[in-house]
Chains A and B, each alone.
Chain A
Amino acid sequence: MKLDEQTRNDLFDYLLRLGDDRLILGHRLSEWCGHGPILEEDIAMTNIALDLIGQSINFLKLAGKVEGNGRSEDDLAYHRDALDFKNLMLVEQPNGDFGYTMTRQFVFDVYSLHLLERLQSSRMEELAAIAAKSLKEVRYHLRHSSQWMLRLGDGTEESHRRVQTALNDLWMYTNEMFETDEVEQRLAKKGIAIDSSTLKPDWEKTVSNLLNQATLNVPEEQGYWSTGSRRGIHTEHLGYILADMQFLPRAYPDAKW
């Protein structure tokens, strides 16, 4: 697909958003390795982490190709600083307890599902292909996180309380998933990207249906929604995440697996 310079720049930005979301969320989930509440969930969460990191490899690889400066997915993952990351603030939030992690995962999975379903029809073939492949994995992720939301929400008094707390805490980060800007608008007009604001109704419907079933409350209107992550504004957490994640390749640039 032939791209003019502006589209090239826009697409590079857009692909970083897609890749960074999954890279950082995958990294957060990987922090559960060896610490899961039960062996099977330890394996489940790290499996999901691997899926997400795999998806981010695909998006970041394509980003590097579109940029055309020879940057690989590893260069983009390990040698950018926090201000150049475009992930949502939602995925930077700490894992908390198992219920917290499941809540964060659930609200992201619903968004990812609706987004990827639409992105399968992108006019850019490689992007559509990545979306189609990732969609299978995300259906499974959503199945896993929704089943846990149901059990924890409609569970004991303690599990219900913990998940409700997580929802109340994380809700302010959810609006960002549906913010759009000129970059996205230009790409959407060309049929390459999806206008994020069009995903909100479906997301709200899917999420509130499940929360009702789980006897959980949809948090009230927020006084403040987080914003700016797509422009490189992040919470304090991202710095620590990158310090962990990027330390090895930065300290040992010649290290090979």
Chain B
Amino acid sequence: MTSKSKTQTDSIDTQWPLWEVFVQEKQGAPHEHAGSVHAPDAEIALQNARDVYARRGRLLSLWVVPSAAITATTPSDDGPFFDPGNDKIYRHPQFYKVPRGVKIF
């Protein structure tokens, strides 16, 4: 029966928490992932992100998200999640004829 003593964290990473940075370049455009920064809290993360990712080129908006808040797929999810099923033509909307004058963006 081991009791873990609450000294330093067991992980080898002694860095500050990691944050993912998303930047928006144009009005209405989606925020795109630009990279990550280490920071002790949200305000410093925002400043660090600005210094690292926003110094060149004009940005409209900056988001920082704790990396721990992001849930992501793993490589082993690839098959079950992402197999495109192109052979199942009944799943794709390919049989509708678009009338003239109707705009598809």
- A41 to B38 alpha-carbon distance, docked (Å): 10
Interface residues of B in 16-66 (CB under 8 A from A): 16, 37-41, 43-44, 47-48, 50-52, 55
- A38 to B39 alpha-carbon distance, docked (Å): 9
A47 and B55 within 8 A (CB): yes
Task: Give the size category of A's interface with B.
Answer: 10 to 19
B52 and A40 within 8 A (CB): yes
Does chain B have a CB within 8 A of A3?
no
B39 and A40 within 8 A (CB): yes
A147 and B38 within 8 A (CB): no
Interface residues of A in 144-202 (CB under 8 A from B): 144, 147, 151
A40 and B40 within 8 A (CB): no
Chain A residues closer than 8 Å to B50, beta-carbon distance: 140
Choice from B38, B40, B51 contacting A151 with Cβ under 8 Å: B40
- A37 to B85 alpha-carbon distance, docked (Å): 50
- A206 to B76 alpha-carbon distance, docked (Å): 55
- A224 to B74 alpha-carbon distance, docked (Å): 64
Does chain B have a CB within 8 A of A143?
yes
- A41 to B51 alpha-carbon distance, docked (Å): 9
Name which residue of chain B comes closest to A144, CB basis: B47
Shortest Cβ distance from residue B47 to the other chain A in the assembled complex, whole angstroms = 6
- Give per-residue flags for A7-51: 1 if the beta carbon is below 8 A from chain B beta carbons, else 0: 000000000000000000000000000000011110110010000
Q: List 16 A-B contacts (CB under 8 A).
A: A38-B15, A38-B38, A39-B38, A40-B38, A40-B39, A40-B51, A40-B52, A41-B48, A43-B48, A43-B51, A43-B52, A47-B55, A143-B47, A147-B43, A147-B47, A151-B40
Give A contacts to B, CB under 8 Å.
Answer: 38-41, 43-44, 47, 140, 143-144, 147, 151
Q: Besides the contacts A40-B52, A143-B47, what 11 more A-B pairs have beta carbons closer than 8 Å?
A: A38-B16, A40-B39, A40-B48, A40-B51, A43-B48, A44-B47, A47-B51, A47-B55, A147-B43, A151-B41, A151-B44
